[in-house]
Amino acid sequence: MVRPAALDDAPAIARVHVASWRTTYRGMLPDDFLASLSAAQYAERWSRVIGEGSSRVYVVEEPEGIVGFASGGRERAGEGGFAGELYAIYVLDGSRRRGHGRELVRAVAEALREMKLPDMIVWVLRDNTDARQFYEHLGGVYVRSQPITIGTATLEEVSYGWQALDEIRY
C-alpha cells in the first residue's frame, strides 16, 4: 500500500534510506562512507522534509512495515525543460520486484500533477544499471550526464526525463 508519509514515518524512511544506500551503492561508493550513514541523522532530515511540505513524500508498507519511499516536487537545479523532479526512490532489497517502485512513481507523478508540474526528471548514478533499466522501462528518455561528488567519490550521474507525465509507462 502506498500512502503519503506522515511525520512519524521519518525514522522508518531513514532506516530504508540507509539500508538501501548500503546495498544499492556497495562497490560504487567507498565502504567507509556507506558505513558512516546514520539512520538517526536521516530521520532528522526526513522529519524536516515532511514537516516543511514543499516536497511530496510517499511510503509503501507491507505487513512488516515501511519497505520503500519516494519523494518529489519542483525541479531543483534549473534543468531546462523540466518543472518536476523525482528526488528519491528506494525500496528495500527484499521487497523489490513487487511493483512498489511503479506505484511510488505513480504517486509522485500524481502529486506533480496536483502541483501543476507537467513533466518530470530524475537523476541516477550512471553505474546503477538496475535503476536505469527501471526508468527506461517506465519510458524515461536519457537527457544528459554530469559529475557528482558523494563523500570522497566523484561519480557520474545521468538523468532521464518524461516531457509529459502521461508518457510514464507503468
The pLDDT tens digits for 87-124 are 999 999 999 989 999 999 999 999 999 999 999 999 99
Number of independent structural domains in the chain: 1
- DSSP-assigned letter for residue 120: E
Beta pairing partners, 157: 125, 146
For 65-92, what is the mean pLDDT? 96
Residue 4 pLDDT level (bands cut at 50, 70, 90): very high
- For residue 32, the model assigns a pLDDT of 94
Residue 45 pLDDT more than 90? yes
- For residue 121, the model assigns a pLDDT of 98
- Total-model pTM: 0.95
Mean predicted lDDT score pLDDT of the chain: 96
- For residue 80, the model assigns a pLDDT of 87
Task: Tell me phi and psi for residue 83, to 5 degrees.
Answer: -100, -25
CATH number (domain holding residue 46)? 3.40.630.30
Cα separations in angstroms, 133 against 39, 107, 129 = 28, 20, 6
Residue 31 pLDDT more than 90? yes
- Full domain range(s) for residue 7: 2-167
What distance in Å separates the CA atoms of residue 54 and residue 56, rounded to the nearest whole number?
Answer: 7
Residue 10 pLDDT level (bands cut at 50, 70, 90): very high
Residue 78 pLDDT more than 90? no
Q: Dig out the grid coordinates for 83 from the structure.
A: 518543472
Residue 167 pLDDT more than 90? yes
For 128-142, what is the mean pLDDT? 97
